[in-house]
């Protein structure tokens, strides 16, 4: 896969309308559009996550629980679903997706290349403090217009020892969306759709280039969230752990869990690197499949 050296605006639309800015400490980083907080990269859990994730309409588009409790309309299931995160449920037998004992962690080490809406986090995937993987993860946020915000995440994971990403549905590049945007549950009014024409519950476990959720945000404004799998990614088009209760996750490793005959185990030898790239597009407005497909092609090219 080619290095990530382009701007998001060029990737998705060819137009950039505003410069975002960032503020960081040693262990957290906030991205702003003017004085408005877009997101915060946080390290106060077993794996880094970003919360809130504010869309162009000015509302949070991911679930607040467990960071904020007792939010109207939210359910308190799956406390390891923290807004916007990237991990996997079985690496060398260790669960980085949900380990209630917190033995398996993705530990933040440092930031680099912090500029505007772009930053790189240096990470160690550890079990009982033994390093299994080292990762460079670059986030690029770009305000494309008053109605569109794009995010590209480029992950370069290098094995410190021989590592196996085992077949499980529990992974990997994930969002837990706000309750009004999900398809089922209290206050749910959203729908799911993918690049292959499948909708709602039929999206789960299927391969697709992209998955969109669309519906009203917490203020009733029409909103679309699209997650995209880059064509150079492992096993593209990926499988989707996309649930009607509000989880959307791209997972190239869960083949058998998703109904395939062959295992999705992936072995990464010591010293080798796995590079994955994903895009997210947050938009105000109604879902238009043709428009999403065009945005995907710009991301893919």
Report pLDDT digits (tens) over 114-150.
999 999 999 999 999 999 999 999 999 999 999 999 9
213/225 Cα distance (integer angstroms): 5
pLDDT at 262: 97
Give the model confidence (pLDDT) of 65-82 as tens digits. 999 999 999 999 999 999
Six-digit token string for 244: 């009607």
Q: Is the peptide bond before 172 cis (omega within 30 degrees of 0)?
A: yes
Q: What is the mean pLDDT of the chain?
A: 95
Q: Which residue has the tokens 């530990």?
A: 107
Confidence (pTM):
0.94
Looking at the predicted structure, is the pLDDT value of residue 5 above 70?
A: no
DSSP state of 238: P
Q: Which CATH class is domain 8-300?
A: mainly beta
The Cα angle at residue 43 between residues 39 and 44, in degrees rounded to 5: 110
**3-class SS of residue 51:** strand
Q: Which residue has the tokens 């992936």?
A: 266
């Amino acid at each position: 896969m080619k290095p990530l050296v382009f701007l998001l605006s060029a990737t998705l639309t060819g137009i950039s309308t505003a410069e975002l800015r960032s503020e960081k400490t040693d262990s957290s980083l906030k991205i702003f559009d003017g004085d408005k907080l877009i997101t915060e990269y946080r390290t106060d859990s077993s794996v880094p996550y970003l919360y809130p994730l504010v869309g162009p309409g000015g509302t949070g588009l991911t679930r607040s629980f467990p960071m904020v409790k007792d939010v109207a309309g939210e359910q308190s299931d799956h406390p390891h679903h923290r807004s916007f995160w990237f991990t996997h449920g079985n690496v060398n037998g260790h669960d980085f997706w949900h380990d209630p004992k917190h033995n398996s962690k993705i530990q933040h080490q440092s930031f680099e290349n912090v500029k505007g809406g772009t930053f790189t986090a240096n990470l160690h995937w550890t079990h009982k403090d033994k390093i299994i993987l080292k990762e460079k993860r670059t986030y690029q946020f770009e305000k494309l217009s008053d109605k569109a915000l794009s995010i590209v995440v480029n992950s370069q994971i290098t094995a410190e020892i021989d590592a196996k990403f085992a077949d499980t549905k529990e992974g990997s590049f994930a969002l837990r969306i706000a309750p009004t945007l999900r398809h089922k549950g209290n206050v749910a009014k959203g729908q799911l759709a993918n690049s292959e024409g499948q909708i709602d519950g039929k999206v789960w476990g299927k391969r697709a280039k992209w998955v969109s959720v669309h519906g009203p945000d917490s203020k009733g404004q029409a909103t679309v969230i699209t997650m995209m799998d880059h064509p150079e990614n492992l096993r593209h088009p990926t499988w989707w752990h996309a649930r009607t209760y509000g989880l959307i996750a791209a997972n190239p490793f869960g083949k058998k869990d998703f109904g395939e005959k062959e295992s999705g185990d992936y072995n990464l030898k010591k010293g080798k690197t796995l590079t994955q790239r994903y895009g997210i597009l947050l938009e105000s407005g109604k879902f238009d499949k043709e428009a999403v497909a065009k945005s995907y092609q710009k991301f893919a090219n």
